[in-house]
Structure 1
Amino acid sequence: MAVLARRQRFPFSDLPDWFEDFPARFSMPGMADLHSMRIEEYTDGGRYVVRAELPGVEVQDLDVTVEDGILTIKAERTEREVDKHRSEIRYGSLTRALALPKSADESDVRAEYTDGMLTVSVGMGEERTEPRHIEIKRAE
Protein backbone atom coordinates (compact mmCIF):
# COMPACT_ATOMS: atom_id res chain seq x y z
CA MET A 1 0.00 0.00 0.00
CA ALA A 2 1.36 3.40 -0.97
CA VAL A 3 1.30 6.37 1.38
CA LEU A 4 -0.31 9.44 -0.16
CA ALA A 5 1.34 12.77 0.50
CA ARG A 6 -1.01 15.67 1.17
CA ARG A 7 -0.52 18.67 -1.13
CA GLN A 8 -1.98 22.13 -1.14
CA ARG A 9 -3.94 22.86 -4.26
CA PHE A 10 -2.75 26.45 -4.50
CA PRO A 11 1.06 26.56 -4.38
CA PHE A 12 1.17 30.18 -3.18
CA SER A 13 -0.98 29.99 -0.06
CA ASP A 14 0.23 33.33 1.30
CA LEU A 15 -0.55 35.26 -1.88
CA PRO A 16 -4.16 36.25 -1.01
CA ASP A 17 -2.99 37.56 2.39
CA TRP A 18 -0.17 39.45 0.73
CA PHE A 19 -2.60 41.31 -1.53
CA GLU A 20 -4.93 42.04 1.36
CA ASP A 21 -2.05 43.63 3.29
CA PHE A 22 -0.60 45.30 0.19
CA PRO A 23 -1.02 48.98 1.27
CA ALA A 24 0.61 48.36 4.66
CA ARG A 25 3.56 46.60 3.05
CA PHE A 26 4.55 49.77 1.23
CA SER A 27 3.49 52.32 3.87
CA MET A 28 0.60 53.42 1.71
CA PRO A 29 -2.65 54.58 3.29
CA GLY A 30 -5.28 51.90 3.48
CA MET A 31 -8.76 52.33 2.08
CA ALA A 32 -10.02 53.71 5.40
CA ASP A 33 -7.47 56.52 5.23
CA LEU A 34 -8.49 57.78 1.79
CA HIS A 35 -10.72 60.31 3.49
CA SER A 36 -8.59 61.54 6.33
CA MET A 37 -11.44 63.70 7.60
CA ARG A 38 -14.17 61.34 8.75
CA ILE A 39 -17.67 62.76 8.64
CA GLU A 40 -21.30 61.96 9.23
CA GLU A 41 -24.19 63.80 7.61
CA TYR A 42 -27.89 63.84 8.45
CA THR A 43 -30.93 66.12 8.66
CA ASP A 44 -32.25 67.32 12.00
CA GLY A 45 -35.02 69.81 12.68
CA GLY A 46 -35.13 71.12 9.12
CA ARG A 47 -31.36 71.51 8.89
CA TYR A 48 -28.72 69.59 6.96
CA VAL A 49 -25.96 68.72 9.45
CA VAL A 50 -22.37 67.61 8.83
CA ARG A 51 -20.13 66.54 11.70
CA ALA A 52 -16.39 66.14 11.10
CA GLU A 53 -13.86 64.46 13.38
CA LEU A 54 -10.89 66.81 13.71
CA PRO A 55 -9.02 65.98 16.93
CA GLY A 56 -5.89 67.98 17.56
CA VAL A 57 -6.92 70.84 15.27
CA GLU A 58 -7.21 74.36 16.70
CA VAL A 59 -10.32 76.40 15.84
CA GLN A 60 -8.16 79.06 14.14
CA ASP A 61 -6.86 76.34 11.78
CA LEU A 62 -10.36 75.56 10.45
CA ASP A 63 -12.07 77.10 7.42
CA VAL A 64 -15.66 76.42 6.32
CA THR A 65 -17.02 77.81 3.05
CA VAL A 66 -20.21 77.39 1.05
CA GLU A 67 -20.23 78.22 -2.63
CA ASP A 68 -22.37 77.07 -5.57
CA GLY A 69 -24.00 74.25 -3.61
CA ILE A 70 -20.72 72.89 -2.22
CA LEU A 71 -19.78 72.85 1.47
CA THR A 72 -16.00 72.81 1.90
CA ILE A 73 -14.24 72.10 5.18
CA LYS A 74 -10.50 72.76 5.41
CA ALA A 75 -8.26 72.09 8.38
CA GLU A 76 -4.58 72.20 9.16
CA ARG A 77 -3.10 69.85 11.76
CA THR A 78 0.37 71.03 12.83
CA GLU A 79 2.99 68.48 13.80
CA ARG A 80 4.60 68.98 17.19
CA GLU A 81 8.38 69.09 17.34
CA VAL A 82 9.05 66.09 19.59
CA ASP A 83 11.21 63.01 19.31
CA LYS A 84 8.73 60.32 18.25
CA HIS A 85 9.03 56.59 18.60
CA ARG A 86 6.04 56.05 16.32
CA SER A 87 3.41 58.28 14.73
CA GLU A 88 0.20 57.17 13.03
CA ILE A 89 -1.32 60.65 13.07
CA ARG A 90 -1.74 62.45 9.76
CA TYR A 91 -0.43 66.01 9.79
CA GLY A 92 -0.82 68.78 7.27
CA SER A 93 -3.82 70.00 5.28
CA LEU A 94 -7.13 68.20 5.31
CA THR A 95 -9.96 69.09 2.92
CA ARG A 96 -13.44 67.67 2.38
CA ALA A 97 -16.04 69.00 -0.09
CA LEU A 98 -19.67 67.89 0.02
CA ALA A 99 -22.56 68.66 -2.30
CA LEU A 100 -25.39 70.32 -0.41
CA PRO A 101 -28.99 69.17 -0.88
CA LYS A 102 -30.89 71.12 -3.55
CA SER A 103 -33.06 72.78 -0.92
CA ALA A 104 -30.12 74.07 1.18
CA ASP A 105 -30.18 77.77 2.06
CA GLU A 106 -26.58 78.94 1.60
CA SER A 107 -27.30 82.15 3.53
CA ASP A 108 -28.21 80.15 6.68
CA VAL A 109 -25.04 78.31 7.71
CA ARG A 110 -23.78 77.80 11.28
CA ALA A 111 -20.60 76.13 12.53
CA GLU A 112 -19.46 75.07 16.01
CA TYR A 113 -16.27 73.33 17.15
CA THR A 114 -16.18 71.44 20.45
CA ASP A 115 -13.81 68.73 21.71
CA GLY A 116 -12.34 67.98 18.29
CA MET A 117 -15.74 67.74 16.58
CA LEU A 118 -16.80 70.32 13.98
CA THR A 119 -20.56 70.61 13.44
CA VAL A 120 -21.83 72.56 10.43
CA SER A 121 -25.56 73.00 9.87
CA VAL A 122 -27.31 74.49 6.87
CA GLY A 123 -30.94 75.61 6.82
CA MET A 124 -33.22 73.76 4.43
CA GLY A 125 -35.77 75.63 2.38
CA GLU A 126 -38.50 74.01 0.37
CA GLU A 127 -37.30 72.00 -2.57
CA ARG A 128 -38.93 72.92 -5.86
CA THR A 129 -40.89 70.00 -7.16
CA GLU A 130 -42.59 71.69 -10.10
CA PRO A 131 -40.61 72.54 -13.21
CA ARG A 132 -40.31 76.22 -14.04
CA HIS A 133 -41.51 77.16 -17.53
CA ILE A 134 -38.99 79.20 -19.55
CA GLU A 135 -40.35 81.31 -22.38
CA ILE A 136 -38.43 80.92 -25.63
CA LYS A 137 -38.17 83.97 -27.87
CA ARG A 138 -37.42 83.83 -31.55
CA ALA A 139 -34.07 85.44 -32.35
CA GLU A 140 -34.27 88.13 -35.03
Structure 2
Amino acid sequence: MSVPARRETRGMFPDLFDLFEMPLTALRPFTGQTGQAIRVEDAVEDDRYVVRAEMPGIDPEKDLEISVSRGVLTIRAERQESREGRRHSEFRYGSYERHIRLPENIREDEIKATYDQGIVTITMPLQEQKEATRRVPVER
Protein backbone atom coordinates (compact mmCIF):
# COMPACT_ATOMS: atom_id res chain seq x y z
CA MET A 1 0.00 0.00 0.00
CA SER A 2 1.28 3.43 -0.87
CA VAL A 3 1.25 5.77 2.08
CA PRO A 4 1.99 9.40 1.28
CA ALA A 5 4.72 11.01 3.34
CA ARG A 6 3.39 13.47 5.86
CA ARG A 7 5.05 16.85 6.08
CA GLU A 8 4.49 19.25 8.94
CA THR A 9 4.99 22.96 8.47
CA ARG A 10 6.92 24.73 11.17
CA GLY A 11 8.86 27.91 11.49
CA MET A 12 8.92 31.05 9.40
CA PHE A 13 8.63 29.45 5.97
CA PRO A 14 5.60 27.11 5.99
CA ASP A 15 5.49 26.90 2.17
CA LEU A 16 9.22 26.50 1.55
CA PHE A 17 8.83 22.94 0.27
CA ASP A 18 6.00 24.04 -2.01
CA LEU A 19 8.48 26.19 -3.93
CA PHE A 20 10.42 23.07 -4.88
CA GLU A 21 7.54 20.62 -5.20
CA MET A 22 6.40 21.28 -8.76
CA PRO A 23 9.79 21.16 -10.54
CA LEU A 24 10.76 17.99 -8.68
CA THR A 25 7.65 16.03 -9.65
CA ALA A 26 9.19 15.46 -13.07
CA LEU A 27 12.22 13.86 -11.43
CA ARG A 28 10.30 11.41 -9.23
CA PRO A 29 10.55 7.94 -10.77
CA PHE A 30 7.53 5.62 -10.87
CA THR A 31 5.04 8.18 -9.58
CA GLY A 32 3.22 8.45 -12.87
CA GLN A 33 2.50 12.09 -12.17
CA THR A 34 2.03 14.71 -14.80
CA GLY A 35 1.14 18.31 -14.12
CA GLN A 36 1.04 19.53 -10.54
CA ALA A 37 0.87 17.17 -7.60
CA ILE A 38 -2.34 16.74 -5.63
CA ARG A 39 -1.90 16.68 -1.88
CA VAL A 40 -3.53 13.63 -0.31
CA GLU A 41 -3.91 11.85 2.99
CA ASP A 42 -5.01 8.27 3.46
CA ALA A 43 -6.16 6.09 6.33
CA VAL A 44 -7.88 2.83 7.13
CA GLU A 45 -11.13 3.64 8.92
CA ASP A 46 -13.14 0.67 10.18
CA ASP A 47 -13.37 -1.65 7.17
CA ARG A 48 -12.65 1.06 4.57
CA TYR A 49 -9.59 2.57 2.93
CA VAL A 50 -10.14 6.34 2.66
CA VAL A 51 -8.19 8.80 0.52
CA ARG A 52 -8.76 12.54 0.87
CA ALA A 53 -7.38 14.98 -1.70
CA GLU A 54 -7.17 18.78 -1.60
CA MET A 55 -9.00 20.10 -4.66
CA PRO A 56 -10.16 23.66 -3.92
CA GLY A 57 -11.80 25.80 -6.55
CA ILE A 58 -12.91 23.10 -8.99
CA ASP A 59 -16.29 22.00 -10.24
CA PRO A 60 -16.28 18.26 -9.50
CA GLU A 61 -18.84 17.55 -12.24
CA LYS A 62 -16.76 19.19 -14.98
CA ASP A 63 -13.17 19.37 -13.77
CA LEU A 64 -12.59 16.13 -11.83
CA GLU A 65 -11.99 12.57 -13.04
CA ILE A 66 -11.40 9.60 -10.73
CA SER A 67 -10.63 6.14 -12.08
CA VAL A 68 -9.29 2.77 -10.91
CA SER A 69 -7.32 0.34 -13.04
CA ARG A 70 -5.10 -2.59 -12.08
CA GLY A 71 -4.97 -1.61 -8.43
CA VAL A 72 -4.09 2.05 -9.06
CA LEU A 73 -6.36 4.95 -8.16
CA THR A 74 -5.99 7.94 -10.51
CA ILE A 75 -7.22 11.42 -9.62
CA ARG A 76 -7.16 14.06 -12.38
CA ALA A 77 -8.39 17.64 -12.29
CA GLU A 78 -8.12 20.87 -14.24
CA ARG A 79 -8.41 24.29 -12.61
CA GLN A 80 -8.93 27.19 -15.00
CA GLU A 81 -7.75 30.70 -14.21
CA SER A 82 -10.19 33.58 -14.47
CA ARG A 83 -8.47 36.93 -14.98
CA GLU A 84 -11.53 39.09 -14.27
CA GLY A 85 -10.30 42.20 -12.44
CA ARG A 86 -7.27 40.58 -10.79
CA ARG A 87 -3.67 41.65 -11.02
CA HIS A 88 -2.04 39.31 -8.52
CA SER A 89 -2.76 35.67 -7.67
CA GLU A 90 -0.88 33.00 -5.77
CA PHE A 91 -3.45 30.31 -6.55
CA ARG A 92 -2.37 27.24 -8.52
CA TYR A 93 -3.99 26.65 -11.90
CA GLY A 94 -3.63 24.03 -14.61
CA SER A 95 -3.64 20.23 -14.66
CA TYR A 96 -3.37 18.14 -11.52
CA GLU A 97 -2.84 14.38 -11.39
CA ARG A 98 -2.07 11.77 -8.75
CA HIS A 99 -1.70 7.98 -8.92
CA ILE A 100 -2.03 5.95 -5.73
CA ARG A 101 -1.32 2.23 -5.50
CA LEU A 102 -4.18 0.60 -3.62
CA PRO A 103 -4.07 -2.28 -1.15
CA GLU A 104 -4.76 -5.65 -2.76
CA ASN A 105 -7.96 -6.25 -0.79
CA ILE A 106 -9.96 -3.28 -2.17
CA ARG A 107 -13.43 -4.01 -3.57
CA GLU A 108 -13.03 -1.88 -6.72
CA ASP A 109 -16.68 -2.22 -7.76
CA GLU A 110 -17.85 -0.43 -4.57
CA ILE A 111 -15.64 2.69 -4.60
CA LYS A 112 -17.45 5.98 -3.87
CA ALA A 113 -16.29 9.60 -4.07
CA THR A 114 -17.69 12.80 -2.59
CA TYR A 115 -16.67 16.46 -2.86
CA ASP A 116 -17.23 18.88 0.00
CA GLN A 117 -15.58 22.24 0.75
CA GLY A 118 -12.62 21.63 -1.56
CA ILE A 119 -11.86 18.10 -0.37
CA VAL A 120 -12.46 14.97 -2.45
CA THR A 121 -13.05 11.93 -0.24
CA ILE A 122 -12.73 8.54 -1.91
CA THR A 123 -14.00 5.61 0.17
CA MET A 124 -13.07 2.04 -0.75
CA PRO A 125 -14.42 -0.98 1.15
CA LEU A 126 -11.85 -3.57 2.21
CA GLN A 127 -12.56 -7.25 1.96
CA GLU A 128 -11.09 -9.81 4.31
CA GLN A 129 -7.50 -10.36 3.35
CA LYS A 130 -6.45 -13.90 2.59
CA GLU A 131 -3.27 -15.28 4.02
CA ALA A 132 -0.46 -13.60 2.08
CA THR A 133 2.24 -16.18 2.79
CA ARG A 134 2.05 -19.89 2.18
CA ARG A 135 4.85 -22.22 3.15
CA VAL A 136 6.04 -24.38 0.26
CA PRO A 137 7.36 -27.83 1.17
CA VAL A 138 10.74 -28.79 -0.25
CA GLU A 139 11.04 -32.30 -1.65
CA ARG A 140 14.20 -34.43 -1.76
Task: Quickly name the TM-score band, shorter chain normalised.
Answer: 0.5 to 0.7
Q: Which one scores higher on RCO, CA 8 angstroms, separation ≥ 6?
A: 2
* Secondary structure, aligned partner of 2:111: strand
Residues 86-95 or 111-120, more deviating: 86-95
Q: Match of 2:10?
A: none
| Among candidates 55, 64, 67, match of residue 66 of structure 2 | 64
The structure where strand makes up a greater share of residues is 1
Displaced runs of 4+ in structure 1, greater than 4 A?
Answer: 32-35, 130-133
1:90 counterpart letter in structure 2: R
How far residue 124 of structure 1 moved from its aligned partner, in angstroms, is 0.5
Identity fraction in percent: 36
| Among candidates 100, 103, 106, match of residue 105 of structure 2 | 103
How far residue 78 of structure 1 moved from its aligned partner, in angstroms, is 0.9
Q: Match of 1:85?
A: 87
- How many residues of Structure 1 are paired with residues of Structure 2 in the alignment? 108
CA distance change for structure 1 residues 120 and 130 in 2, over 3 Å: closer, same or farther? closer
Q: Match of 1:15?
A: none
Q: Given the alignment of the two structures, is residue 120 of structure 1 paired with residue 122 of structure 2, yes or no?
A: yes
Q: Match of 1:47?
A: 48
Distance in 1 separating the partners of 2:57 and 2:132: 46
How far residue 117 of structure 1 moved from its aligned partner, in angstroms, is 0.6
How far residue 132 of structure 1 moved from its aligned partner, in angstroms, is 7.2
* Secondary structure, aligned partner of 1:128: coil
Over the aligned positions, Cα root-mean-square deviation in angstroms equals: 2.5
Distance in 1 separating the partners of 2:110 and 2:42: 17
Structure 2: unaligned runs, 5 residues or longer: 1-15, 26-35, 136-140
TM-score with structure 2 length normalisation?
0.67
Q: Match of 1:9?
A: none
Distance in 1 separating the partners of 2:111 and 2:89: 36
Distance in 2 separating the partners of 1:104 and 1:74: 20
How far residue 128 of structure 1 moved from its aligned partner, in angstroms, is 2.0
| Among candidates 87, 96, 101, match of residue 94 of structure 1 | 96
TM-score with structure 1 length normalisation?
0.67
| Among candidates 6, 25, 31, match of residue 20 of structure 2 | 31
* Secondary structure, aligned partner of 2:108: strand
Structure whose alpha-carbon radius of gyration is higher: 1
